[in-house]
DNA sequence: CGTATATGGAGGATCTCTCTCCGTATATCG
DNA sequence: CGATATACGGAGAGAGATCCTCCATATACG
């Protein structure tokens, strides 16, 4: 994946390190933002800083690879959503949950702001991720299962809001669960009066829980 | 407001500068996080860096004042919500919209992680902001107007999610409007089938709009 | 108008991050 | 099992950002 085929194949250890750097970069960008120190990324990847620079000449190259990878995963999620759900609304919700698991969605907008976007591969993948969702939204509108006034922007921005880690250094797993829980809430609304509301995913956090978690280090 | 009464009163210009620094700090913390450069805050306030240091000996003192001020505003919002809305669910929603306007909610958790919390004034205000909301949630649960499985944590965390500025440097005003729009969405849910859904606040952003805004600087 | 109070910004100290160099280690192939 | 191309890690110089103090000047207020 994310292979821009041309070059000589990497040695096995080099390829492994490259993947680990990419994964570490994904996490670091989500948690620390697009300016995350490259040294921190190398540290998380368990490699030296030189190895990172050897593989990615500069921050832009690293960002580009991360974004490309994220788009690829997103496209895969879309395919899955379209395959597994027949009705458009269900597929849209399935997609949103799936994208939360890609995690990086939160920072794609900022990452894109950091690199030149006149890039064919990037644009192609971006289109491949956007247009099926626009189609899905239109179909759900037509079927009347999605609020008529909900736009593509709303969907995208809510995904961003939900996939950003909450400030205050919760454990990562909790953060992920809460994202799904809160997506459920968004889908079904807060009201208790309307009929069939399926159970929420994820843990219910009370004020007492929050207090207990207080002795936490800064974000 | 936020007067810890003891000291000699400030000269008029000093008081004005103090308020401006506090306001600038609030904005900077929201946009840049709790590690926002103090020089940047002074710049936004239109004062010299020395003036900031004269009024707030260190970052912790500044953060403390910002948090205190935010809690005070939050308490005021709660009072308003309780006064103007008779039913608990309505009051809760009113409160959530009001808190979005306080803006700083997004970073209170991180800010609190940066300063010692064994502070009577802080704790008192915190309690004054928390317990009415817990009560409201309980009442709305009883009335059946709020989903039974929605907790205090859900409400607080959704406020945080909604009040954080979206990445990618949208104009501030747009960000604020979108926060309210997306809160509406949360309250009513995405589905289009159930009956009475009031109009959403704020602008509907399409993919085309987003593309148009692309030539944006990094966050 | 005198004086206590307040101001701004230059600049040294410190910290953080970037990026390269080079001696050492490991994969791969015959 | 070598031989060799490939890859590795980490030190450390350099650049830049941020902190924080000092002091000559300005302003509010009695």
| Whether A32 and A21 share a structural domain | yes
Cross-chain residue pair A169–B113, CB shorter than 8 Å: yes
Q: Is the pLDDT of residue B48 over 90?
A: yes
| Whether A38 and A25 share a structural domain | yes
Q: Would you say residue B151 lies in a domain?
A: no
Domain termination residue (choose one: A136, A164, A192): A164
Provide mean pLDDT across the span B31-46.
Answer: 97
* Per-residue confidence (pLDDT) for residue B72, from 0 to 100: 96
| Whether B139 and B214 share a structural domain | no
* Per-residue confidence (pLDDT) for residue B15, from 0 to 100: 97
Q: Closest Cα partner for B92 from B155, B149, B48?
A: B155
Q: Would you say residue B9 lies in a domain?
A: no
B214 three-state secondary structure:
coil
A14 contact to strand D (CB, 7 A limit): yes
Domain termination residue (choose one: A164, A191, A208): A164
Q: Is the pLDDT of residue B179 over 60?
A: yes
Question: Which positions of chain D lie under 7 Å from any protein Cβ?
Answer: 6-12, 17-23, 27-29
Q: Would you say residue A20 lies in a domain?
A: yes
Q: Any idea what the CATH number is for the domain that residue A17 is in?
A: 1.10.10.60
B1 contact to strand D (CB, 7 A limit): no
Question: How far, in Å, CA of A173 to CA of A180, rounded?
Answer: 11
Domain hosting A77: range is 59-164
Write out residues whose CB is closer than 7 A to strand C: A 11-13, 35, 37-40, 49-50, 53, 58-59; B 8, 10-11, 13-14, 17, 46-51, 54-55
Q: Would you say residue A112 lies in a domain?
A: yes
Cross-chain residue pair A113–B204, CB shorter than 8 Å: no
C-beta of residue B50 within 8 angstroms of C-beta of residue B33: no
| Closest Cα in chain A, distance from residue B192 (Å) | 4
Q: Would you say residue B159 lies in a domain?
A: no
- Taking the mean position of all CA atoms in its chain, how far away is CA A175? 13
* Residue closest to C7 C1′ by Cα: B51
* Per-residue confidence (pLDDT) for residue A42, from 0 to 100: 98
Provide mean pLDDT across the span A154-159.
Answer: 97
- By Cβ distance, the residue of B93, B168, B207 closest to A109 is B168
Q: Would you say residue A177 lies in a domain?
A: no
| Whether B20 and B36 share a structural domain | yes
Q: Would you say residue A218 lies in a domain?
A: no
How many domains would you assign to chain B? 3
| Whether A18 and A67 share a structural domain | no
C-beta of residue B219 within 8 angstroms of C-beta of residue A169: no
Compute φ and ψ for B32, nearest 5 degrees. -110, -5
| Whether B67 and B141 share a structural domain | yes
């Amino acid at each position: 994946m994310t292979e821009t085929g041309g070059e000589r194949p990497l040695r096995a250890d080099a390829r492994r390190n490259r993947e680990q750097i990419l994964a570490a970069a994904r996490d670091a960008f989500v948690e620390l933002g697009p300016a995350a120190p490259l040294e921190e990324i190398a540290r998380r990847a368990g490699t030296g800083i030189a190895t990172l620079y050897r593989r990615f000449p500069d921050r832009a190259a690293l960002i580009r690879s991360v974004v490309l990878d994220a788009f690829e995963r997103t496209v895969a999620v879309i395919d899955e959503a379209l395959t597994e759900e027949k009705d458009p609304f269900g597929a849209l919700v399935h997609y949103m949950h799936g994208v939360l698991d890609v995690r990086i969605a939160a920072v794609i907008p900022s990452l894109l702001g950091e690199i030149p976007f006149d890039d064919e591969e990037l644009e192609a993948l971006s289109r491949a991720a956007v247009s099926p969702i626009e189609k899905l939204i239109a179909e759900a509108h037509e079927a009347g299962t999605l609020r008529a006034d909900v736009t593509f922007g709303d969907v995208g921005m809510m995904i961003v809001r939900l996939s950003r880690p909450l400030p205050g250094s919760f454990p990562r797993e909790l953060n992920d669960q809460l994202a799904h829980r809160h997506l459920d809430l968004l889908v079904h609304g807060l009201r208790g009066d309307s009929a069939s509301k399926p159970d929420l995913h994820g843990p219910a956090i009370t004020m007492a829980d929050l207090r207990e978690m207080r002795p936490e280090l800064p974000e």
